[in-house]
Each structure stands twice: as structure tokens, then as C-alpha cells.
Amino acid sequence: MNSQRSPPTYPQLLTFALFGKDVEYRAAIGNWILGTNLFNTNPILAVNNSFKIINTPHFFEEDSVHPDQDIIDLMARSYPGPNLFILAVDSENSQEENVVAQISKLQEIFGQQVTEHVFIILPDIESLQSLLHLKQIFNIHLAVANENLASECKTWCFGRHSFLYDYKNYSERVVRRRRTALMKITVNSLSDGPPLPHYERAGLDAMTPSTPQYGLSASAGDTFQNHACNGANEVTDTMINIILLGLTGTGKSASANTILTAGYPKIDPEQLFRSEASSMPITKQCEAKIIQKPFKRQVRLVDTPDFFNEEVKNCQAQVEACKRFCQQGPCVVLLVLQLGRITDSEKEIIQKLENKLGWRIRDSTTVLLTHGEDLKGSLEKYINACGALKNIVAMCNNRYHLFNNSSKDSKQVTELIKKIPNFKKKKKSLMSLVFDALQLED
Ligand SMILES: Nc1nc2c(ncn2[C@@H]2O[C@H](COP(=O)(O)OP(=O)(O)OP(=O)(O)O)[C@@H](O)[C@H]2O)c(=O)[nH]1
Ligand SMILES: [Mg+2]
């Protein structure tokens, strides 16, 4: 990575809406773009490191039972608009009138301008040659299915704005409401919400949590999930991620446990993140748990290893695993530092993490100081007296908080949540979702 270049303000993930009459051909195109076979089960949504693909199973079916609902769901999942509308045209449906009918249907629903974002993928060179003239007529992009589709799509999106829905046929309010409802959809019947859309994630084999997979019961009445990210798990794409970053021994896992126990005080200790005093790294792999309390909705709490510790094997794989969480939904960072132990290696920690993750984390980071019980006097004075810490805190727009992880006081968690940036003012930004999700329970 070029360290001179400022990382993007949010991880880049291209959103594609995938259309096509033939289920198998559509799946093959989805698989080619993702570089996996996730589409074999015809999911509604599939994601990898670079792409989020929204499948539209019934779109061109004359007898679709809920055509409007299908369209609203697509708009909600790709809100405020996808980068590309991919039309997978199989050999049975590649006659000109058939292709034109599909393009016209997209125009009818999403407006004439949609064609600027339509990418038609044809089965062979012959169909490409016979349909090439449509390029001029509709201002669309045509290509033949091939194994380089992913890079072709990326190249085509480069420098282009994504499509924005105009809400002439469907109200933005309805779409947004549906989006919110989809966000509330719970994971694997964790709570009694509506059923889940089928959703799959790709390439998370770097994640091997030390605890068992789904359906964990913390204690009577308390439930949360360990998130084993090794394949086709069902999760919502807009779940908020809280990612704990920092060096070994600073208290990342202990802080994650403080957050967990604030919501689930009777939690079985076996289900906490492993946290121990040690000169060697204890957490060696990213590990995530999905919780609901004390938040209003589900939040994925992601504990990470020290990305700069040579004792952490496959460090880069762990960075990649962490990046996938950053990309999957809105995320906020807790940068964990130990009071009284801000070392030289932590001076540049923000820049170093940004370079590793390729994301300008400082805009979404709150500094979380641990060992709060050791503080003598005011925290502000302490920060002002420590140049390196003052600098880090300033980079994070003066967001900081103090935890005493040896205390069971859940107030420190509710106070922390209040300090997480108020993104609500930035209308329509992804980060507004973060703020909404981090509202405390009534
Ligand atoms: N007294 C006290 N101990 C803490 C606090 N925070 C963390 N610790 C202890 O510090 C030690 C290291 O904490 P961890 O949470 O394992 O640190 P970590 O950042 O996850 O470390 P790695 O997993 O090795 O990267 C553990 O013994 C914790 O109990 C705190 O606020 N007060
Ligand atoms: Mg740890």
C-alpha cells in the first residue's frame, strides 16, 4: 500500500444488483464476480472483500407474487443505489427483443438513466456481435461472460458515481422504512423478529473462533451469538460492527467482556473473550460475538489480535479478516490503550492501523483507556500531560473514555456508548446507521 496516499474515509465495497431470467446462469455470473460458488444456493445477498451482490430472483417473472415488494427490497438493500445493474443474459434469452424487453423493464422501474449503469453479460461472442448496436441505442455496457468479470466490473465502476434511485415510482420513505426493517432482522432466530433473508458471506476462512458456533445461551434469558465467520452464515449486511483494536495486553478482550457483561450480567464465563495477563499475545485471531443488549439492536463486537506483534501468526490474514468486518456494515472502532503504558510504539498507532486496514479509522474511532482504577486526578489532566496520548485523542476528534475492566459497573459502558460519534447529522450517510444502532435501550 502506498503510505503517502490517504486511505478512503470508508472501505470501498461495490454494490451490484444482479438480474437475469435464468437462475443457473445468473448464479454462474454471481459466482464469477465473487470468485466463489456462494450463488449456488441462490441467496438474496452475497458479499466478499470487494463486492456486495444483491440477487433478484423473481424480477422478470410475469407471475411474480409481490413485484413491488421485490423492487422495494432491492432498493432497500442497495440504498441509496447500486454501482451497477448487472443483467445476466443467457443463451435462451439473448434474442434482441428479449434483451430490449429486459432493459425496458429496468428503465420503466428505475428511470431512463438507469442504462448508464447497466452492464449486460452475454453468454458468447456471437450474441455480443449481434447485440453490439444496443450499446449506442441505450448507452449500456456489454461483455461476454468470462473469468475476469470481477476486474472488468471494477474497472468499469472506477471513477463513476453509483446510481441513485429517483423515487418517482416508489417513495423514499417506504424504501428507508424497509431498509430499517431489514436491519432489524435478526440472525438465526436469535430473537423473535421476522425471518431472515438468505445471506451469505465469502472467504472468511481466516476466522476460526475458539468457541463453538451458533445458538449459544449465555444464561437464563440472556442470549448472544458467537459469530463463526467461516462460510455461509446468515447475517444482516447492515449490522453495526464495534471493532476493538490495539497492542497486546492493553485490554481489548477485557474491554469487550466489560461491554458483554453490561448487557448479559449472568453470562457463562466460558463465553467471554479470552483475556489474561501475559507477555505473549493471548488473542491470536479475530473473534466476533453478536449481541443486542445494551444496544437497541444487534451489534457485532469484534475482538482482534495485535496486528503488529510478531508472535501473531498469519497477521495479514487477520488484518484481512478484520477488514471484512469493516466492509460488511457500518463500523466504529475502539482504540484500546492502557493508562500509564502509552509506549513509543503507540505514538503512530492511528496512522499504522490506517495503513494496515486501508481505511481512515480516525473518523470513527473512540480512544478507550483501560486500568481506570489507576487514575489519580482528572482524566483530562492526564491526557494533557501525555503528549503522545493527547495527539492520538486529538486525531480522534477528542473522543475518549475510561474503563475499569475489573469493575462490574455497567454505567461505564452506557457512558461509552453515548460518546460514540453522533453521525446522525450527516444525512443519508452510512454512519447515520451507526448512530441509530447505538442508541441505548429505553
Ligand atoms: N485491573 C485491570 N486489569 C485490566 C484492565 N483491562 C485489562 N486488564 C487486564 O490486563 C490483562 C490483559 O488484558 P487483555 O484483555 O487480555 O488484553 P488484550 O489487549 O486483549 O491482549 P491480547 O489479546 O494479547 O492482544 C488481563 O489480565 C486483564 O484482566 C483494567 O481496566 N483493570
Ligand atoms: Mg485479547
Pocket flag, ligand 1, residue 275 (CB < 6 Å):
yes
Pocket flag, ligand 1, residue 125 (CB < 6 Å):
no
* Cα 258 to middle of ligand 2, angstroms: 13
pLDDT-wise least confident of 22-31, 148-157, 217-226, 407-416: 217-226
Tell whether the model's pLDDT for residue 30 goes beyond 90. Answer: yes
Ligand nearest to C-alpha 252 = 1
* Cα 352 to middle of ligand 2, angstroms: 19
- According to DSSP, the residues that pair with 367 across neighbouring strands are 335, 400
What pLDDT was estimated at residue 238? Answer: 54
What pLDDT was estimated at residue 413? Answer: 94
Pocket flag, ligand 1, residue 309 (CB < 6 Å):
no
Pocket flag, ligand 1, residue 238 (CB < 6 Å):
no
Task: Please give the domain boundaries of the chain with CATH numbers for all domains.
Answer: 14-177 (3.40.50.300), 202-437 (3.40.50.300)
Single-letter code of the amino acid located at 247: L
Write the residue with the smallest CA distance to atom 21 of ligand 1.
249
What pLDDT was estimated at residue 327? Answer: 64
Pocket flag, ligand 1, residue 306 (CB < 6 Å):
yes
Q: If you count them, how many residues does the chain have? A: 442
* Cα 420 to middle of ligand 2, angstroms: 22
CA distance 239 to 183: 7
Ranges 8-22, 166-180, 218-232, most confident: 166-180
- Is-contact 436 424, C-beta < 8 A? yes
Ligand nearest to C-alpha 412 = 1
Pocket flag, ligand 1, residue 403 (CB < 6 Å):
yes
Tell whether the model's pLDDT for residue 117 goes beyond 50. Answer: yes
CA distance 104 to 114: 10
What pLDDT was estimated at residue 234? Answer: 33
pLDDT in tens, 118-138: 999 999 999 999 999 999 999
CA distance 285 to 68: 43
CA distance 439 to 74: 27
CA distance 141 to 108: 19
Cell of 189: 432466530
* Cα 253 to middle of ligand 1, angstroms: 7
* Cα 382 to middle of ligand 1, angstroms: 20
What pLDDT was estimated at residue 1? Answer: 40
Ligand nearest to C-alpha 255 = 1
Pairing of strands 240-245, 331-338: parallel
Write the residue with the smallest CA distance to atom 8 of ligand 1.
251
Greater pLDDT, 151 or 383? 383
pLDDT-based confidence at residue 4 (cuts at 50, 70, 90) = very low
Average pLDDT value over all residues in the chain: 79
Tell whether the model's pLDDT for residue 283 goes beyond 50. Answer: yes
CA distance 433 to 427: 10
What are the residues whose beta carbons fall under 8 Å from the beta carbon of 47, sequence distance 6 or more?
13, 53, 200, 201, 202, 237, 327, 328
pLDDT-based confidence at residue 216 (cuts at 50, 70, 90) = very low
pLDDT-based confidence at residue 294 (cuts at 50, 70, 90) = confident
Rg (CA), the chain: 23
What sign does the CA torsion over 182, 102, 48, 4 have? Answer: negative
pLDDT-based confidence at residue 359 (cuts at 50, 70, 90) = confident
Pocket flag, ligand 1, residue 208 (CB < 6 Å):
no
Write the residue with the smallest CA distance to atom 27 of ligand 1.
277
